[in-house]
Structure 1
Amino acid sequence: MKCTFLGTGTSMGVPVAGGFGREEIGNDPRNQRTRCSVWLETDQSSIVIDVGPEFRIQSIRSNIRRIDLVLITHEHMDHIAGLDDLRSYNYAQQNPIPLLTSQRAIDSIRTRFDYMFGEKKYPGSTSLSMEVIDTPETFQDLRITPLPYNHGDIDVLGFRVNDFSYMTDVKEIPDSTKDKIKGSKVLVLSGLRWGPQHPTHMTIPEAVEIANEIGAPKTYLIHMNSYVNHAETNEKLPDHIRLAYDQLEIEV
């Protein structure tokens, strides 16, 4: 399975609109981060996890030609704002795109994008076939396991897809979910910043601690803010933990 990190930035992206905050951009393009999304490809399947505000640009940049399935972690706009950009795939594929997520996220999507559904459906708008995933499912050549965890006041879903586990916007992970992750060859975790602690996100040191506990051979950190310099951070991290960056491609 090939994994492409389409975006690796926090909810505001990096750099932040208006230049607020301490930007650590420099001349390293890895410090420019669009909102988090990942594309997984196998011989049979092409799926994406989350579709944020820059999804159109991300999909063009990575030449995504087909989307068989969308997985949504939660309903915050940095994870769903690109749903409208999926309509071009509807035109090409001539079918609604299956989408798996929580019931709460489905309810939110139907409210925010009401013009895509039911009697209000606008002609030509994105067509989705949304279903709840709360137990492991098989999709083509993929085994997809939902990974519930805490993001502050809400519970959200990560996903284990075969031996790849992806969790963004993480604050706390229950032991039952850690058990489902163990055995993964690649783990992806959010690590917002070095510090101070955040009420709804893990810091980089907290993410490193969890990664070491789970014990995946390779862990990649995502959802970094503008205070995180790519090269400087990688120098501080253990060899088996790296920062991901936009358009990074790995094999799982």
Structure 2
Amino acid sequence: MGLTNVVLLERDRLTAGTTWHTAGLLWQLRPSDVEVELLAHTRNVISKDLEEETGLHTGWIQNGGLFIASNKQRLDEYKRLMSLGKVYGIESHVLSPAETKDLYPLMNIDDLYGTLYVPKDGTMDPAGTCTTLTRAASARGAVVIENCPVTGIKVQTDDLGVKRVKAVKTPHGTIETPCVVNCAGVWAPKLGEMAGVKVPLIAMHHAYVVTQRIEGIQNMPNVRDHDASVYLRLQGDALSVGGYEHNPIFWEEVSLKETVSLIWHKDWK
């Protein structure tokens, strides 16, 4: 948008919170045309523009995306998505179970009605993408300050009774600003409280699994099953499997002093 006097405050180190273990999947087709346009823009930035501008690779891998339909209604939805994709010039194909097997030989197609295949979907590396974005933003005048948590937001009411941001407080000093963008993720509600704003967001405990090496999985598309709320992300010669739990466990109270951690065990199957 042409702004150059931007400051990004990071309470720890960039990507240290929830970013580093995000899936980094980019599916271009969504039911909303606004989302389709936004994702097309994002794909161009991640796959081409950032690397040309900075010389750094975002970790973009174009291995394609595959939506699987286990019922007729879901397949009909994917046919509509394909039609929407044509309007925006996004290549996509509705495949029969047999065609899906040809594309993804390891997939069991016994209960499939068909799939939607988007060849130019892919995956980005979260840490690599953030590093590249930071380099590009810094070159345009932005300042990134790590290990600098926000401790307060100063708000004043103007003559019309409208509350407006005046400054952001940190342990290292105060930054006067009329605009704050709350991009704190899991800690966004805490940051909103500082300005008297309620952010309707709640954190959930979440798990994902990384498999051992699977022969023949290399270069296969990422897979999404909307009915089961599961994704399969290609990770080298293995798969990262995750999704949205149907019976989520909410994380009611997230401390500002907390960092998100991950616990794993090498013997998990």
Q: TM-score, normalised by structure 2?
A: 0.29
Q: TM-score, normalised by structure 1?
A: 0.30
Structure number with larger C-alpha Rg: 2
